[in-house]
């Protein structure tokens, strides 16, 4: 009788704990996709930076970001006009794909290389569009609401591969993104 009572209590507590987690984190049930927009890039740099993330399991994900700069009047276009950035993330939280993460990324990016030449009182200017590839690492944090809305803050640095002596040596990746998990 004691064994049956013990097994019944064990089964009941297992079912209750499983039900409690389901009620506590409904955004984790069968939701493996996220779409996001980088609000910081849109407001500060006039870049449209959209990304998609596929959750592999509770500890990792992969995705891709696409950035397009549309402000032609500022000097920031020298830094980035367009980029495609695939990434892989590893999460270090007990919750499903959220909290602190480390990200490895690759970036194919296009930028305007403006060079000024000074000859005494005379200045010459040349402009060239360059496309290069970079590899880098980012760190950040992700927060997910019970309704599935996400906020993430991240910052990273990458190194350009190849290029010439006048190419950018490094690229940055960062932002404050708002999105939805579905």
What pTM does this model have? Answer: 0.78
* Mean pLDDT, residues 75-95 taken together: 85
pLDDT at 157: 98
83 pLDDT above the threshold of 60: yes
**Residue 52: pLDDT band by 50, 70, 90 thresholds?**
very high
Half-sphere exposure (CA, 13 Å, Cβ side) for 172? 8
Q: How far apart are CA 45 and CA 75, in angstroms?
A: 10
CB neighbours of residue 175 within 10 Å: 27
> Which three-class secondary structure state does DSSP give residue 127?
strand
CA–CA gap between residue 38 and residue 45 (Å, rounded): 11
Please count the other Cβ atoms lying within 10 Å of the Cβ belonging to residue 26.
Answer: 13
How far apart (Å, rounded) are the C-alpha atoms in residues 154 and 104?
Answer: 12
Taking only Cα atoms into account, the Rg of the chain, rounded to an integer number of angstroms, comes to 23
For 99-146, the pLDDT digits (tens) are 999 999 999 999 887 777 888 888 887 788 889 999 999 999 999 999
CA distances in angstroms from 133 to 26, 115, 130, listed in the order given = 39, 21, 10
The pLDDT tens digits for 147-181 are 999 999 999 999 999 877 777 889 999 999 999 99
pLDDT surpassing 90 at residue 65? yes
Tens-digit pLDDT profile for residues 9-47 = 455 455 445 444 444 566 677 899 999 999 999 998 889
Task: Compute CA distances 59 → 17, 47, 67, 151, whole Å.
Answer: 21, 30, 26, 17
Tokens of 169: 């040596």
């Amino acid at each position: 009788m004691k064994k049956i009572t013990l097994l019944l209590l064990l089964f009941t507590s297992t079912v209750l704990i499983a039900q409690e987690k389901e009620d506590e984190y409904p955004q984790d049930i069968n939701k493996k996709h996220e779409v996001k927009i980088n609000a910081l890039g849109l407001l500060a740099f006039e870049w449209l930076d959209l990304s998609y993330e596929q959750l592999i399991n509770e500890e990792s994900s992969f995705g891709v970001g696409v950035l397009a700069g549309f402000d032609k009047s500022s000097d920031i276009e020298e830094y980035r006009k367009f980029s495609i950035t695939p990434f892989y993330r590893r999460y270090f939280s007990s919750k499903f794909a959220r909290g602190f993460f480390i990200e490895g990324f690759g970036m194919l990016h296009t930028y305007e290389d403006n060079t000024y030449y000074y000859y005494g009182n005379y200045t010459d200017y040349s402009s060239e569009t360059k496309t290069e590839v970079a590899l880098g690492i980012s760190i950040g944090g992700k927060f997910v609401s019970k309704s599935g809305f996400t906020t993430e803050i991240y910052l990273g640095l990458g190194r350009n591969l190849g290029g010439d002596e006048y190419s950018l040596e490094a690229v940055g990746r960062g932002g404050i993104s708002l999105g939805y998990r579905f």
